[in-house]
Every structure is written in C-alpha cells, then in structure tokens.
C-alpha cells in the first residue's frame, strides 16, 4: 500500500465501526442471546446458632437462672438428642427477580418429582433441613408460598455412609413456581442440622431454569462481571484512541477544496459578502489564495472578457450579462434587495414607486412637493454600467428616466440636480453629506449615517422579497469565461457559494440563495 493510501485510510471510521460492533455484540449477548429474565438468589446469612465467644453472665447480672443459657441448651433441642445446638445453623436466602422482565409461573422450566408446582431446588450439601419459614414477601402474594403452593423440604443421601465413604447427605427445599414482577423478592429462612460434627459444609445453592433467561447467584454490592469491566475498558481505550487521532491528525480538507490563485472582480455592492466567503474558504482550504478588484459590475465583465478563458478569474455582478458579453457564462447566486436612502434632513419614511419615478424623471425637484421640507432634490446616482443602477432602472423606473450629463459628486453642494459615484460605499457617504440628497444601494450596505425608506409601505424582508411585495430586488450572478474544469479553484469556489457554507454568508448579508427557491422563477431577472 502506498504512503498516500495509508494517509487516506479512514482510521476513525474503522475505530468507530469496531466500537459499534463491540457494543452491539455486548447488547445482544446481555439482552437477546442470554435473555432478560433473571432470577437471582443471595445468601444473606449462613451462621451457626452458637457463637465463638460465650457470655454466660450478662454484665451487671448475678441471676444464676441465666448463667450459661446456651450451654444448658446444648444437650438436646426440642427433646431430640441428635440435634445439638452447636451443630445447628440458620440460613437466610433472598430470592428476587433481578432481570428486566416479569417472571411468570410458566417461565420455570424445572422438572421435578414433586410435580409441576416445583420451580426451584435450594440444596444444602452436608446438612439436613429441620425447619423452614418464608419471610419478607415483597409484593409477593402469601398464597404463592403457602402450604398448598408446593413448598416442602426433604433430605437426600445419608449422613452415615458405609465405611471408607464420605457422607452424601443433602438437605433440599423445593420452592414453587412463584410469579415475580421486576424487582420483587421473598426470603427463605431455614434451620439446618450438621450431623457430622467438625465437617465443613459448602454454601447453599439454588438450581432451576428460566425460559429466555437464567438463575444467577447475586451478591450485595457485587463487583461487575469481568466481561463488562473488560468491555468498558475496551470502549474507553477506543474513545481515547479516536481522540488522539482527531487531535494529532489534521482535519482533511472538504471535498470542495482546491488550491491555486483566483482574482474576483465586479460588483462593489457584493464585495463585502464575497470577501467574507473567500476568507472563510481560505481558512478551510489553505492552498487557495484570493485577490480582489471590485470596480463595478460592468468593469468586472469587461475585465473577464479581456482576460479570456482563464481559470484564474471570476466576475460577480448584479443582473444578467446582457448581449454585450456573449462569451461569458452566468450562474445565479442569490436574490438581493436594494434600498432607497435619504439625507437625514428630508425626514420622509416612505416613498411610493410613482414618487421614485418622478424623482428620477425630473418631475419632483423639491421635497416640499411630496410633503417634505423646502429642500431641492439632489439625485446621487451610480455611474453607467453599475448593476445596482440597472436594478433601479429595470425594477422601479420602467427603464424610463431623465438622462443627465455626467457630473461627479465630489464638490457637489445643495442645489445641484444630479451627480454620480463609482462604488457602493460612496453612495452612503454623499447622501449623508449633501442636504436634500436621495440615493440607492444594496440593503446590506445601509449604515447609520443615512435613513432607508420603505417603498409603497413595504420594507425588504425575506418574506416580502420572496413574495414579490418588495419590488426593488435583483439577482446576483457569478460569471466565468466559458466552462471551467470541475477541479479548478473557480469551480470549487462556485460550488462553495451555491451549495456550501457560503450560503450562510449570503443569508447573513440579507440575500436569499438561489439554490433553495420558493418559486420556480425566484432567481430569474
């Protein structure tokens, strides 16, 4: 395997798959293959009746009647000389539903000579059962362990075997098929006799079977099974390895990454948005480098046409390319909105479409004609070839406006009729500076120094733009000189703009990406 192949090996995916397989296998083993019905038993007490240290006279007591009380009982028990107190023991066993499902009577699988009523055998090797009580019935009906339930005790084998043979005495308690809800339990208290003095006896056990489960011995505060400990340590190690791999191994570049240099030209209105998108792209795709020359939509189209079919240049503009740039290919990016802005001294909050037409056709020359102050109107225009200017003329002016001789806004004072600026930023600057001025620019470029007005009482919002209620909008395009290679930087950056994270950047600047139109003709001019 080559070095490149090793570097591309999806080690994190493999580790994740291993973790999932191991966890799934553990789940299947624990809850499906082994079963979820579990009957547990716990030996809570197994102790001789007599203690290892006797106290024949209680402290402060001189009564001879209580002196040596246990010693006096050692000769016989209940009149039976065979049952010496020193050989008696008490055993308390807790029997519980320790699984996750209810255990019914039909779930017990033991076959017994006692009939179908017996579900479990509790055995005491080397001891005989001489007494039995059922205690602590936790949510278990008394009748399930009553006299007629099948509960009984007996002895198997003999305590006095033939010479040279070990005793095979076994005390047995037959337990009925007790239905148990999850977490419910009962306890068996047994009194046992050990006929063979001095012989150590094994701990009691319970045998039986449960459909889809098992009978387990449990312990209070028991340690977890070794297999679960091993599984937990394995999964912990797996997570640590994944973490180390994620920290040490650099993040792979996204699929839309490409290296190279790209110059972006065109619309000044779109410049802030494109700059931010390109900056984000460079941070993720470190092999890409961008330069910018935003001088307006038409200057950008001219620069791209002059450069020819090169993968190193991309143009951005407001509106379609028209018929003058037939060699260029256009791709719609987003629908943007534009706003009319007024000098703060005008004081109007809304303009109708007809009033805007009259302003730019020279029919309204003073603001007092439409309810404003006595100030002459000064039109701040973009130079010819501006995409924003084309949007104003096509969307609001019906391509019918007064033609003015070109005049620069530099040096323009109140009382002038119209002047022109080259870039978006200058519109806000001169509208704020010249009393009575009105201009237009992309909504995202509106600042605090000028006041944007509604048009026909409607402001630019995503809903009003989508519905068409706000008319002063336009489609923003990307342009290439013919087709471009799919693995080139220009193609990958366009994919980033239309389908990648740059869509969020477009939304941040108030634009609505064309890749998610609400209407089929949403991004048509």
**Structural domains in the chain?**
36-50+72-217 (2.60.40), 260-334+481-513 (3.40.190.10), 336-474 (3.40.190.10)
Q: Compare 288 and 85 and report the one with higher pLDDT.
A: 288
Q: What does the pLDDT read at residue 92?
A: 92
Q: What does the pLDDT read at residue 483?
A: 84
Whether the pLDDT of residue 397 is over 90: the answer is yes
Q: Specify the range with the lowest mean pLDDT, choosing from 35-49, 117-131, 367-381, 452-466.
A: 35-49
Q: What does the pLDDT read at residue 452?
A: 93
Spell out the residues 6+ positions from residue 468 whose beta carbon is closer than 8 angstroms to its own. Answer: none
Q: What is the mean pLDDT of residues 235-246?
A: 69
Residue 212 burial (10 A CB sphere; 0-12, 13-18, 19+) = middle
Task: For residues 506 and 513, give the distance between their C-alpha atoms in angstroms, rounded to a whole number.
Answer: 7
Q: Compare 57 and 142 and report the one with higher pLDDT.
A: 142
Task: For residues 388 and 393, give the distance between their C-alpha atoms in angstroms, rounded to a whole number.
Answer: 9
Q: What does the pLDDT read at residue 33?
A: 52
* Alpha-carbon distance values, 491 to 42, 424, 488, 511 (Å): 71, 27, 5, 21
In 3D space, the residue among 497, 423, 445 whose CA is nearest the CA of residue 268 turns out to be 423
Spell out the residues 6+ positions from residue 340 whose beta carbon is closer than 8 angstroms to its own. Answer: 351, 356, 438, 439, 440, 452, 453, 455, 472
Stated pTM of the model: 0.52
In 3D space, the residue among 37, 39, 44 whose CA is nearest the CA of residue 204 turns out to be 44
Q: Give pLDDT tens digits for 480-521.
A: 998 888 888 999 999 898 888 888 888 888 888 887 655 556
Share of residues in the chain with pLDDT > 90 (%): 37
Q: What does the pLDDT read at residue 449?
A: 85
Kindly report the average pLDDT of the chain as a whole number.
82
Q: What does the pLDDT read at residue 112?
A: 52
Whether the pLDDT of residue 62 is over 60: the answer is no
Q: What is the mean pLDDT of residues 318-343?
A: 89
Q: How many CB atoms lie within 10 A of CB 107?
A: 19
Task: For residues 131 and 139, give the distance between their C-alpha atoms in angstroms, rounded to a whole number.
Answer: 24
Whether the pLDDT of residue 227 is over 80: the answer is no
Whether the pLDDT of residue 7 is over 50: the answer is no
Q: What does the pLDDT read at residue 3?
A: 42
Confidence band of 367 (pLDDT split at 50, 70, 90): very high
Spell out the residues 6+ positions from residue 258 whose beta carbon is closer than 8 angstroms to its own. Answer: 285, 287, 288, 487, 488, 489, 491, 492, 493
Q: What does the pLDDT read at residue 173?
A: 92
Q: Give pLDDT tens digits for 163-197.
A: 655 568 899 999 999 999 988 999 999 998 888 76
Q: What is the mean pLDDT of residues 304-312?
A: 88
Q: Specify the range with the lowest mean pLDDT, choosing from 45-54, 120-129, 480-489.
A: 45-54
Q: What does the pLDDT read at residue 257?
A: 83
Q: What does the pLDDT read at residue 182?
A: 87
Whether the pLDDT of residue 356 is over 80: the answer is yes
Q: What does the pLDDT read at residue 75?
A: 47
Q: Compare 105 and 247 and report the one with higher pLDDT.
A: 105
Q: Compare 298 and 167 and report the one with higher pLDDT.
A: 298
Residue keyed to tokens 């039995």? 132
Q: What is the mean pLDDT of residues 425-454?
A: 92
Q: What is the mean pLDDT of residues 430-451?
A: 91
Q: What does the pLDDT read at residue 67?
A: 47
Q: What does the pLDDT read at residue 521?
A: 64
């Amino acid at each position: 395997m080559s070095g490149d192949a090793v570097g591309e090996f999806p080690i994190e995916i493999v580790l994740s798959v291993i973790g999932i397989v191991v966890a799934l296998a553990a789940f299947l083993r624990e809850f499906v293959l082994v079963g979820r019905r579990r009957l547990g038993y716990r030996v809570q007490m197994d102790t001789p009746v007599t203690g290892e240290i006797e106290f024949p006279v209680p402290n402060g007591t001189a009564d001879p009647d209580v002196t040596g009380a246990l010693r006096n009982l050692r000769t016989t028990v209940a009149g039976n000389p065979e049952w010496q107190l020193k050989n008696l023991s008490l055993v308390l066993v807790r029997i519980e539903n320790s699984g996750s499902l209810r255990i019914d009577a039909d779930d017990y699988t033991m076959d017994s000579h006692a009939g179908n009523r017996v579900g479990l055998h509790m055995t005491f090797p080397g001891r005989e059962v001489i007494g039995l009580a059922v205690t602590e019935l936790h949510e278990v009906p008394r009748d399930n362990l009553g006299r007629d339930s099948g509960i009984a005790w007996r002895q198997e084998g003999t305590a006095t075997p033939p010479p040279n043979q070990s005793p095979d005495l076994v005390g047995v308690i037959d337990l009925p098929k007790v239905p148990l809800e999850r977490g419910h339990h009962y306890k068996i208290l047994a009194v046992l006799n050990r006929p063979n003095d001095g012989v150590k006896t094994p701990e009691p056990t319970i045998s039986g079977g449960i459909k889809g489960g098992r009978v387990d011995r449990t312990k209070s505060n028991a340690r977890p099974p070794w297999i679960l400990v091993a599984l937990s340590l394995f999964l912990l190690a797996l997570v640590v390895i994944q973490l180390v791999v994620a920290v040490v191994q650099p993040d792979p570049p996204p699929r839309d990454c490409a290296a190279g240099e790209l110059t972006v030209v065109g619309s000044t209105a779109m410049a802030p948005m494109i700059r931010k998108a390109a900056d984000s792209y460079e941070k993720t795709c470190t092999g890409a480098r961008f330069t910018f020359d935003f001088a307006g939509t038409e200057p950008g189209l001219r620069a791209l046409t002059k450069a020819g079919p090169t993968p190193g240049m991309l143009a951005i503009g407001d509106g379609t390319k028209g018929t003058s740039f037939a060699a260029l290919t256009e791709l719609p990016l987003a629908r943007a909105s534009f706003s009319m802005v007024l000098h703060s001294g005008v004081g109007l909050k809304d303009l109708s479409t007809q009033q805007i037409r009259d302003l730019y056709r020279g029919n309204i020359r003073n603001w007092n004609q439409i309810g404003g102050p006595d100030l002459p109107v000064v039109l701040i225009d973009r130079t010819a070839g501006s995409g924003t200017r084309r949007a104003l003329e096509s969307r609001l002016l019906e391509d019918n406006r007064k033609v003015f001789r070109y005049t620069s806004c530099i040096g323009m004072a109140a009382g002038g009729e119209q002047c022109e600026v080259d870039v978006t930023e200058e519109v806000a600057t001169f509208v704020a500076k010249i009393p009575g001025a009105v201009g237009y620019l992309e909504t995202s470029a509106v600042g605090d120094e000028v006041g944007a007005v509604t048009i026909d009482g409607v402001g630019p919002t995503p809903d009003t733009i989508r519905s068409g209620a706000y008319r002063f909008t336009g489609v923003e395009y990307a342009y290439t000189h013919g087709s471009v290679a799919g693995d080139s930087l220009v193609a990958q950056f366009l994919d980033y703009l239309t389908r990648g994270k740059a869509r969020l950047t477009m939304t941040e600047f108030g634009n609505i990406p064309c890749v998610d139109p609400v209407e089929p003709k949403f991004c048509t001019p």
